[in-house]
Amino acid sequence: MRKIFFITSILGVVLLFSSCKTNTKTNIIKDNFDFASKQFDYAFQVIDSAIQNDTRDADVKAKNPLVSPRTLNEDGTLRMRPSREWTSGFFPGSLWYMYEYTKDPKWEAKAREFTATVEKEKMNTGTHDLGFMIFDSYGNGLRLTDDQSYKPVILQAAKSLITRYVPNAKTIRSWDHNKDKWQCPVIIDNMMNLELLFWAFKETGDSTFYNIAVTHANTTMENHFRPDYSTYHVIDYDTITGEVLHRNQHQGYQDESTWSRGEAWALYGFTATYRDTKDEAYLDVARNVANFIFTNPNLPEDLIPYWDFDAPNIPNEERDVSAATITASALYELSTYGGDKADQYKKWADTIVENLTNNYRATLNSDGGFLLLQSTGAKSLNSEINVPLVYADYFFLEALLRKQKLESGKGLF
């Protein structure tokens, strides 16, 4: 009887341990959204205080009100930005993700409130980031509510974006600044705004949107990558001949290094472009970029990259959590497109999500109401080093939702 009892007891412990382990993995999504619910309630208080304490001139505040959190200042106060900032769509988008997960009307109301603050950017032809600004806010709102009043806003944003297309260079111009340095600078980040154009094509049937998106992707595929599928950040084109004039690494360590968030933008952007075109060439690029990231000897064991894969003082360099969240979200999608490493893509994404949850999460009712810490905006420019960033939170919530859909057997889109 002792032997039977002993075996039964051991079996019970094993089953209990297995059950706990399973519950931990299952509940990581709920745990993070529960945390986000409380943290965003705190964030609303911090946002209100920051707006009330805005010391800018009254006319400036009237023309460009502060609408969206971006990061923390050096003194720990919240840095709010106007709608013209490229990051303005991420906080509304995060609130839409809260609504998607909870189905709570409270989050729909807050998402609508913050989404409305960026509407005027639909007319902004001075930026390539309209996908981030409008599609992450209004686009998610349309997807989740089918509010038809959102459609003309998104469509106008797409029309504004294609005004930046440079036919001779076969690309969408990214920046208008530094004209003494670049003729037609295009950054790898620009791949992230093509989803807006593909949506506009599906909505209107106007092939102009599709053709510009595909041409831009093809030009990027040809010029932004080294043979190992590491990326340059900025490619400068001659506006007449289309010739590549410069290859630079504006936010990375140096021109021939690999900026980690740029690599993440490439992974996500080409994965999404495959979704909308079904062109295997884009899928191949995405897989090769993933291979570069996860075979890189300078990728830390926890898969949260340093801000640049070639930064000079690794391992004593800052991480970029934002690059990790973008990568994780992209990997969940990439895992649905088959191939020898499909399962591995999801495992890598799961590992990133687990490590972010366990080691990089902000303190509840602190840290400005952000969800994650230790992102790096641009160390090369001495900007936003080892801080929370609003887009890291956005892609973290997106990754969690994608994980939930995959594990419940639902399609991502």
DSSP bridge partners of 248: 234
CB atoms within 10 A of CB 173: 20
For residue 96, give the amino acid letter. W
Residue 363 DSSP label? P
Classify 247 as helix, strand or coil. Answer: strand
Helix (H) and strand (E) counts for the chain?
Answer: 14, 7
Which of the residues 41, 48, 54, 129 is marked catalytic?
Answer: 129
The DSSP line for 269-288 is HHHHHHHHH--HHHHHHHHH
Q: Considering just the CA atoms, what is the radius of gyration of the chain in Å?
A: 22
Which of the residues 136, 189, 350, 367 is marked catalytic?
Answer: 189
Active site residue 129: yes
Q: Where are the beta strands (DSSP E) in 46-168?
A: 66-72, 78-82, 165-166
Active site residue 255: no
Classify 111 as helix, strand or coil. Answer: helix
Classify 231 as helix, strand or coil. Answer: strand
What residues act catalytically? 129, 189
